[in-house]
Amino acid sequence: QVQLVQSGVEVKKPGASVKVSCKASGYTFTSYYIHWVRQAPGQGLEWMGVINPSGAGTTYAQKFQGRVTMTRDTSTSTVYMELFSLRSEDTAVYYCARVASSTCFDYWGQGTLVTVSS
């Protein structure tokens, strides 16, 4: 069955960076784009960007341009999201999600809580 399994809880200081992983299984890794979505405490869903696991092409939300990098490792079927220069407003649960041909997010990771605090 399709699964996206994310790395664990992170606690970071302001100015630091964080790298969250998302390991895919149960399908052909290079056949589906992976998006990243975050959710601040008590807030809605915010799209961050997308990576094509096949060619590694990326598109980022303008808000995160220059502060985020999405990469992939085809040998382990894992995608990564690294966010730099963290600030308290980056405290959120970060989700990876697979996009289906119909453009919906059909499978989601379990989420990774990133807390930014001094």
Partner 1 sequence: DIQMTQSPSSLSASVGDRVTVTCRASHSISSSLHWYQQKPGKAPRLLIYGASSLQSGVPSRFSGSGSGTDFTLTISSLQPEDFATYYCQQGYGTPRTFGQGTKVEIK
Interacting residues toward partner 1 by CB under 8 A: 35, 44-47, 50, 59, 61-62, 95, 99-100, 102-106, 108-111
Q: In DSSP terms, which residues pair with 58 in a beta bridge?
A: 51
Please state the φ and ψ torsions of residue 68, each to the nearest 5 degrees.
-130, 145
Q: Is the Cβ of residue 16 or residue 45 nearer to partner 1 in the bound state?
A: 45
Report the alpha-carbon distance of residue 41 to residue 90 in Å, rounded.
Answer: 10
Contacts of 100 by beta carbon, 8 Å cutoff, 6+ apart: 32, 106
In the numeric block, which tokens belong to residue 14? Answer: 């302001």
Smallest separation (angstroms) from partner 1 to the CB of 1: 12
Shortest separation between residue 49's beta carbon and partner 1, angstroms = 8
Give CA–CA dist 82/76, Å, rounded.
17
Residue placing its CB nearer to partner 1 in the complex, 75 or 104:
104
Smallest gap, in angstroms, from Cβ of residue 102 to partner 1? 5
Nearer to partner 1, 53 or 109 (CB): 109
